[in-house]
Structure 1
Amino acid sequence: MKKNFQTLTIVALGAVLVGCAAPKTGRDDATYYYSNKGAAAPVAKVEPPPPPPVQNGPAGVAKIVYFDFDRYNIRPGDRNVVEAHAGFMRNRPASRIVIEGHTDQRGGREYNLALGQRRADSVQRALTQLGVPAERIEAISWGVEKPASTETTEEGYQLNRRAEFSYR
Protein backbone atom coordinates (compact mmCIF):
# COMPACT_ATOMS: atom_id res chain seq x y z
CA MET A 1 0.00 0.00 0.00
CA LYS A 2 2.88 2.31 0.80
CA LYS A 3 4.33 1.67 -2.65
CA ASN A 4 1.02 2.58 -4.35
CA PHE A 5 0.84 5.77 -2.30
CA GLN A 6 4.41 6.72 -3.31
CA THR A 7 3.64 6.03 -6.99
CA LEU A 8 0.44 8.01 -6.80
CA THR A 9 2.23 10.91 -5.11
CA ILE A 10 5.00 10.94 -7.74
CA VAL A 11 2.51 10.89 -10.61
CA ALA A 12 0.44 13.71 -9.05
CA LEU A 13 3.56 15.79 -8.39
CA GLY A 14 4.73 15.25 -11.98
CA ALA A 15 1.37 16.37 -13.35
CA VAL A 16 1.44 19.54 -11.25
CA LEU A 17 4.97 20.35 -12.38
CA VAL A 18 4.20 19.77 -16.05
CA GLY A 19 1.11 22.00 -15.85
CA CYS A 20 3.04 24.84 -14.20
CA ALA A 21 6.31 24.47 -16.07
CA ALA A 22 5.32 26.08 -19.38
CA PRO A 23 4.19 29.69 -19.37
CA LYS A 24 0.79 30.26 -20.92
CA THR A 25 0.93 31.62 -24.48
CA GLY A 26 -1.77 32.86 -26.79
CA ARG A 27 -4.06 35.81 -27.37
CA ASP A 28 -5.97 35.41 -24.13
CA ASP A 29 -2.81 35.97 -22.07
CA ALA A 30 -2.76 39.49 -20.57
CA THR A 31 1.02 39.73 -21.06
CA TYR A 32 0.62 39.00 -24.77
CA TYR A 33 -2.18 41.57 -25.09
CA TYR A 34 -0.24 44.39 -23.46
CA SER A 35 3.01 43.60 -25.26
CA ASN A 36 1.23 43.68 -28.67
CA LYS A 37 -1.19 46.53 -28.01
CA GLY A 38 0.46 48.90 -30.52
CA ALA A 39 0.91 46.25 -33.23
CA ALA A 40 -1.11 46.58 -36.40
CA ALA A 41 -4.16 44.39 -36.67
CA PRO A 42 -4.04 41.72 -39.33
CA VAL A 43 -5.17 43.10 -42.69
CA ALA A 44 -8.28 41.46 -44.08
CA LYS A 45 -8.43 40.97 -47.82
CA VAL A 46 -10.95 43.46 -49.14
CA GLU A 47 -12.75 42.52 -52.34
CA PRO A 48 -13.70 45.36 -54.68
CA PRO A 49 -17.44 45.94 -54.89
CA PRO A 50 -19.18 44.19 -57.77
CA PRO A 51 -19.84 46.30 -60.86
CA PRO A 52 -23.25 47.92 -60.95
CA PRO A 53 -25.85 45.91 -62.82
CA VAL A 54 -26.34 46.82 -66.43
CA GLN A 55 -29.61 48.63 -66.81
CA ASN A 56 -31.56 47.34 -69.72
CA GLY A 57 -33.50 50.47 -70.50
CA PRO A 58 -35.92 52.67 -68.62
CA ALA A 59 -37.98 50.85 -66.00
CA GLY A 60 -41.57 50.19 -66.90
CA VAL A 61 -41.18 51.20 -70.55
CA ALA A 62 -41.75 48.85 -73.48
CA LYS A 63 -38.71 47.78 -75.51
CA ILE A 64 -40.69 47.33 -78.69
CA VAL A 65 -42.17 49.77 -81.21
CA TYR A 66 -44.80 48.30 -83.53
CA PHE A 67 -45.47 49.28 -87.15
CA ASP A 68 -48.39 49.11 -89.53
CA PHE A 69 -48.36 46.78 -92.53
CA ASP A 70 -45.71 47.75 -95.09
CA ARG A 71 -44.83 50.94 -93.15
CA TYR A 72 -41.78 52.16 -91.29
CA ASN A 73 -42.97 55.41 -89.74
CA ILE A 74 -43.34 55.42 -85.95
CA ARG A 75 -46.99 55.46 -84.94
CA PRO A 76 -48.09 58.34 -82.65
CA GLY A 77 -48.96 55.87 -79.88
CA ASP A 78 -45.40 54.50 -79.85
CA ARG A 79 -43.70 57.90 -79.90
CA ASN A 80 -43.62 58.04 -76.07
CA VAL A 81 -41.68 54.73 -76.00
CA VAL A 82 -38.97 56.23 -78.21
CA GLU A 83 -38.89 59.43 -76.12
CA ALA A 84 -38.47 57.44 -72.89
CA HIS A 85 -35.52 55.50 -74.35
CA ALA A 86 -33.97 58.73 -75.63
CA GLY A 87 -34.19 60.29 -72.15
CA PHE A 88 -32.68 57.15 -70.62
CA MET A 89 -29.74 57.24 -73.02
CA ARG A 90 -29.13 60.98 -72.66
CA ASN A 91 -28.75 60.50 -68.89
CA ARG A 92 -26.31 57.59 -69.33
CA PRO A 93 -23.49 58.65 -71.67
CA ALA A 94 -21.90 55.18 -71.63
CA SER A 95 -25.06 53.39 -72.79
CA ARG A 96 -25.19 51.89 -76.25
CA ILE A 97 -28.17 50.44 -78.06
CA VAL A 98 -28.96 48.23 -81.02
CA ILE A 99 -32.29 48.76 -82.76
CA GLU A 100 -33.40 45.48 -84.37
CA GLY A 101 -35.95 45.80 -87.19
CA HIS A 102 -38.37 42.92 -87.88
CA THR A 103 -41.13 42.14 -90.38
CA ASP A 104 -43.95 39.62 -90.75
CA GLN A 105 -43.49 36.70 -93.12
CA ARG A 106 -45.44 38.23 -96.02
CA GLY A 107 -43.22 39.47 -98.86
CA GLY A 108 -39.89 38.33 -100.24
CA ARG A 109 -36.69 37.87 -98.26
CA GLU A 110 -34.83 40.87 -99.72
CA TYR A 111 -37.87 43.11 -99.42
CA ASN A 112 -38.38 42.16 -95.75
CA LEU A 113 -34.70 42.71 -94.91
CA ALA A 114 -34.90 46.18 -96.45
CA LEU A 115 -38.19 46.98 -94.68
CA GLY A 116 -36.77 45.80 -91.33
CA GLN A 117 -33.76 48.06 -91.89
CA ARG A 118 -35.98 51.04 -92.70
CA ARG A 119 -37.91 50.41 -89.46
CA ALA A 120 -34.70 50.26 -87.41
CA ASP A 121 -33.36 53.36 -89.18
CA SER A 122 -36.60 55.21 -88.45
CA VAL A 123 -36.24 54.58 -84.71
CA GLN A 124 -32.54 55.48 -84.84
CA ARG A 125 -33.35 58.76 -86.60
CA ALA A 126 -35.99 59.58 -83.96
CA LEU A 127 -33.48 58.91 -81.15
CA THR A 128 -30.86 61.18 -82.72
CA GLN A 129 -33.47 63.92 -83.22
CA LEU A 130 -34.18 63.60 -79.48
CA GLY A 131 -30.50 64.22 -78.60
CA VAL A 132 -28.88 60.76 -78.55
CA PRO A 133 -25.52 60.70 -80.40
CA ALA A 134 -25.74 58.54 -83.53
CA GLU A 135 -22.46 56.74 -82.75
CA ARG A 136 -24.13 55.11 -79.73
CA ILE A 137 -26.94 53.60 -81.82
CA GLU A 138 -26.72 50.69 -84.25
CA ALA A 139 -29.64 49.82 -86.51
CA ILE A 140 -29.89 46.30 -87.96
CA SER A 141 -32.56 44.24 -89.72
CA TRP A 142 -33.58 40.67 -89.04
CA GLY A 143 -36.40 40.68 -91.58
CA VAL A 144 -38.48 37.55 -90.91
CA GLU A 145 -35.63 35.64 -89.20
CA LYS A 146 -36.76 36.14 -85.58
CA PRO A 147 -40.56 36.13 -85.46
CA ALA A 148 -42.32 37.01 -82.23
CA SER A 149 -45.34 34.97 -83.38
CA THR A 150 -45.75 32.09 -85.82
CA GLU A 151 -49.49 32.65 -86.19
CA THR A 152 -50.73 33.55 -89.65
CA THR A 153 -53.42 35.89 -88.34
CA GLU A 154 -53.45 39.67 -88.37
CA GLU A 155 -52.66 39.60 -84.62
CA GLY A 156 -49.65 37.35 -85.25
CA TYR A 157 -48.46 39.51 -88.14
CA GLN A 158 -48.77 42.65 -85.97
CA LEU A 159 -46.50 41.16 -83.30
CA ASN A 160 -43.82 40.58 -85.95
CA ARG A 161 -43.88 44.11 -87.43
CA ARG A 162 -41.63 45.71 -84.84
CA ALA A 163 -38.35 47.33 -83.85
CA GLU A 164 -36.76 46.18 -80.60
CA PHE A 165 -34.42 48.09 -78.26
CA SER A 166 -31.44 46.01 -77.15
CA TYR A 167 -28.98 47.67 -74.73
CA ARG A 168 -25.30 46.70 -74.78
Structure 2
Amino acid sequence: MNQTIPMPDRRPEQGRVPVSCILALDLGTTTGWAIRAYDGLITSGTVSFRPGRYDGGGMRYLRFTNWLTEIDRLSGPIAAIWFEEVRRHVGTDAAHVYGGLMATLTAWAELRGVPYEGVPVGTIKRHATGKGNAPKEAMIAAARARGFSPADDNEADAIAILHWAIETGGGMA
Protein backbone atom coordinates (compact mmCIF):
# COMPACT_ATOMS: atom_id res chain seq x y z
CA MET A 1 0.00 0.00 0.00
CA ASN A 2 1.99 2.97 -1.26
CA GLN A 3 0.57 6.33 -0.33
CA THR A 4 1.57 9.85 0.56
CA ILE A 5 -0.12 11.16 3.67
CA PRO A 6 0.83 14.50 5.22
CA MET A 7 1.94 14.28 8.85
CA PRO A 8 0.52 13.87 11.43
CA ASP A 9 -2.43 12.20 9.66
CA ARG A 10 -1.30 8.57 9.24
CA ARG A 11 -4.62 6.98 8.32
CA PRO A 12 -5.05 4.81 5.24
CA GLU A 13 -6.61 6.34 2.14
CA GLN A 14 -9.62 8.40 3.17
CA GLY A 15 -12.99 6.73 3.00
CA ARG A 16 -11.89 3.12 2.64
CA VAL A 17 -9.99 0.31 4.22
CA PRO A 18 -8.72 -1.84 1.37
CA VAL A 19 -8.69 -5.60 1.70
CA SER A 20 -5.29 -5.87 3.23
CA CYS A 21 -3.73 -7.01 6.47
CA ILE A 22 -4.91 -4.68 9.24
CA LEU A 23 -4.26 -4.96 12.96
CA ALA A 24 -6.40 -3.75 15.88
CA LEU A 25 -5.02 -3.52 19.40
CA ASP A 26 -6.29 -2.95 22.93
CA LEU A 27 -3.00 -1.97 24.57
CA GLY A 28 -2.19 -3.06 28.10
CA THR A 29 -0.23 -5.58 30.13
CA THR A 30 -2.63 -8.08 28.60
CA THR A 31 -3.00 -6.77 25.06
CA GLY A 32 -6.01 -7.78 23.02
CA TRP A 33 -5.44 -8.12 19.28
CA ALA A 34 -7.46 -8.81 16.16
CA ILE A 35 -6.08 -9.05 12.64
CA ARG A 36 -7.72 -9.27 9.25
CA ALA A 37 -5.48 -11.09 6.80
CA TYR A 38 -5.33 -10.46 3.06
CA ASP A 39 -7.81 -13.31 2.50
CA GLY A 40 -10.34 -11.60 4.80
CA LEU A 41 -9.92 -14.12 7.62
CA ILE A 42 -10.11 -12.51 11.06
CA THR A 43 -8.06 -13.96 13.90
CA SER A 44 -7.90 -12.62 17.44
CA GLY A 45 -6.42 -13.29 20.84
CA THR A 46 -4.53 -11.85 23.76
CA VAL A 47 -0.84 -11.66 24.59
CA SER A 48 0.70 -10.87 27.97
CA PHE A 49 3.53 -8.39 28.35
CA ARG A 50 3.77 -8.83 32.11
CA PRO A 51 7.42 -8.52 33.11
CA GLY A 52 9.18 -11.53 34.61
CA ARG A 53 10.67 -11.50 38.08
CA TYR A 54 14.17 -10.70 36.85
CA ASP A 55 13.25 -8.50 33.87
CA GLY A 56 14.49 -4.95 33.55
CA GLY A 57 12.00 -2.13 33.05
CA GLY A 58 12.29 -2.14 29.26
CA MET A 59 11.75 -5.86 28.66
CA ARG A 60 7.96 -5.46 28.38
CA TYR A 61 8.44 -3.04 25.46
CA LEU A 62 11.14 -5.13 23.82
CA ARG A 63 8.81 -8.15 23.92
CA PHE A 64 6.02 -6.01 22.42
CA THR A 65 8.34 -4.88 19.60
CA ASN A 66 9.34 -8.48 18.91
CA TRP A 67 5.69 -9.57 18.95
CA LEU A 68 4.70 -6.85 16.46
CA THR A 69 7.57 -7.86 14.17
CA GLU A 70 6.53 -11.52 14.33
CA ILE A 71 2.86 -10.72 13.59
CA ASP A 72 4.01 -8.60 10.63
CA ARG A 73 6.27 -11.41 9.39
CA LEU A 74 3.72 -14.21 9.78
CA SER A 75 0.48 -12.45 8.79
CA GLY A 76 1.56 -9.27 7.06
CA PRO A 77 2.83 -7.12 5.89
CA ILE A 78 0.56 -5.04 8.08
CA ALA A 79 -1.00 -2.24 6.04
CA ALA A 80 -2.58 -0.27 8.92
CA ILE A 81 -2.99 -0.38 12.70
CA TRP A 82 -5.84 0.90 14.86
CA PHE A 83 -5.61 0.94 18.64
CA GLU A 84 -7.85 1.93 21.54
CA GLU A 85 -7.06 5.51 22.48
CA VAL A 86 -7.42 5.75 26.24
CA ARG A 87 -7.54 9.24 27.74
CA ARG A 88 -8.08 8.29 31.39
CA HIS A 89 -6.63 5.45 33.42
CA VAL A 90 -7.70 4.17 36.81
CA GLY A 91 -4.12 3.91 38.09
CA THR A 92 -0.74 5.48 37.50
CA ASP A 93 0.90 2.14 36.64
CA ALA A 94 -1.71 1.41 33.95
CA ALA A 95 -1.13 4.86 32.46
CA HIS A 96 2.62 4.29 32.35
CA VAL A 97 2.27 0.86 30.72
CA TYR A 98 -0.19 2.21 28.15
CA GLY A 99 2.05 5.17 27.33
CA GLY A 100 5.09 2.93 26.92
CA LEU A 101 3.22 0.46 24.69
CA MET A 102 1.77 3.30 22.60
CA ALA A 103 5.22 4.88 22.18
CA THR A 104 6.66 1.51 21.18
CA LEU A 105 3.81 0.88 18.73
CA THR A 106 3.99 4.28 17.07
CA ALA A 107 7.80 4.14 16.77
CA TRP A 108 7.56 0.62 15.29
CA ALA A 109 4.93 1.78 12.78
CA GLU A 110 6.79 4.99 11.86
CA LEU A 111 9.99 3.04 11.22
CA ARG A 112 8.13 0.78 8.76
CA GLY A 113 5.83 3.39 7.21
CA VAL A 114 2.70 1.70 8.56
CA PRO A 115 -0.22 4.09 9.13
CA TYR A 116 -1.74 3.98 12.61
CA GLU A 117 -4.55 5.71 14.46
CA GLY A 118 -6.08 5.71 17.91
CA VAL A 119 -9.83 5.27 18.24
CA PRO A 120 -11.58 6.77 21.30
CA VAL A 121 -12.99 4.26 23.78
CA GLY A 122 -16.53 5.67 23.50
CA THR A 123 -16.48 5.40 19.70
CA ILE A 124 -15.56 1.71 19.89
CA LYS A 125 -18.15 0.91 22.55
CA ARG A 126 -20.88 2.85 20.73
CA HIS A 127 -20.16 1.06 17.45
CA ALA A 128 -20.14 -2.39 19.10
CA THR A 129 -23.05 -2.03 21.53
CA GLY A 130 -24.91 1.20 20.80
CA LYS A 131 -23.74 2.67 24.13
CA GLY A 132 -20.59 4.75 24.51
CA ASN A 133 -20.16 3.67 28.11
CA ALA A 134 -20.90 -0.05 27.69
CA PRO A 135 -19.46 -2.33 30.40
CA LYS A 136 -16.92 -5.07 29.69
CA GLU A 137 -19.61 -7.77 29.69
CA ALA A 138 -21.52 -5.96 26.91
CA MET A 139 -18.36 -5.77 24.78
CA ILE A 140 -17.79 -9.51 25.23
CA ALA A 141 -21.45 -10.19 24.33
CA ALA A 142 -21.13 -8.01 21.20
CA ALA A 143 -18.07 -9.99 20.06
CA ARG A 144 -19.92 -13.26 20.69
CA ALA A 145 -22.88 -11.97 18.68
CA ARG A 146 -20.48 -11.59 15.73
CA GLY A 147 -19.43 -15.23 16.07
CA PHE A 148 -16.22 -14.79 18.06
CA SER A 149 -15.27 -16.36 21.40
CA PRO A 150 -13.13 -13.75 23.13
CA ALA A 151 -11.07 -14.91 26.10
CA ASP A 152 -11.66 -11.59 27.86
CA ASP A 153 -12.64 -7.95 27.41
CA ASN A 154 -9.22 -7.09 25.92
CA GLU A 155 -9.78 -9.45 22.99
CA ALA A 156 -13.42 -8.32 22.68
CA ASP A 157 -12.27 -4.68 22.46
CA ALA A 158 -9.72 -5.53 19.75
CA ILE A 159 -12.40 -7.34 17.75
CA ALA A 160 -14.66 -4.29 18.10
CA ILE A 161 -11.88 -1.95 16.96
CA LEU A 162 -11.19 -4.10 13.91
CA HIS A 163 -14.86 -4.21 12.93
CA TRP A 164 -15.18 -0.46 13.47
CA ALA A 165 -12.19 0.13 11.16
CA ILE A 166 -13.56 -2.18 8.46
CA GLU A 167 -17.18 -0.98 8.64
CA THR A 168 -16.45 2.74 8.86
CA GLY A 169 -13.47 2.86 6.51
CA GLY A 170 -11.32 3.81 9.47
CA GLY A 171 -13.76 6.48 10.61
CA MET A 172 -14.28 8.04 7.19
CA ALA A 173 -17.63 6.50 6.33
Q: TM-score range by the shorter chain?
A: 0.3 to 0.5
Structure with a larger share of its residues in strand:
2
Q: Which has the higher contact order (CA 8 A, sep 6+)?
A: 2
Q: For the pair shown, which has the larger CA radius of gyration, 1 or 2?
A: 1
